[in-house]
Amino acid sequence: MPISYGFWLATKYGYVGFGNLWSIRLLGFATGMLTFPFLTYWMIGEGITLKTAISILLSIVIMIIQFI
């Protein structure tokens, strides 16, 4: 329950800051795409391939575009 309230507050403040919900949706997607490869590398030792590195790079680009 507390984590749901935290997500709700983050969405509310993100909407106030950005002015639309699509920016928040794209930031959430990019955050997941940034954390998942590093956690799989750390937890199960799965290597970062060229495909994964390109996905990480594209996620960073998405986040930069949203903050500009």
Burial letters 28-61, b for 16+ CB under 10 A, else e? eebeebbeebeeeeeeeeeeeeeebeebbeebee
- pLDDT tens digit string along 7-38? 899 889 989 988 888 888 888 888 888 899 88
- pLDDT tens digit string along 45-56? 988 899 989 999
Residue 1 has pLDDT above 80, yes or no: no
pLDDT for the residue 4: 92
**Residue closest to 25 by CA, chosen among 53, 66, 68:** 66
Query: What residues make up the domain containing 14?
Result: 2-67
**Number of domains within the chain:** 1
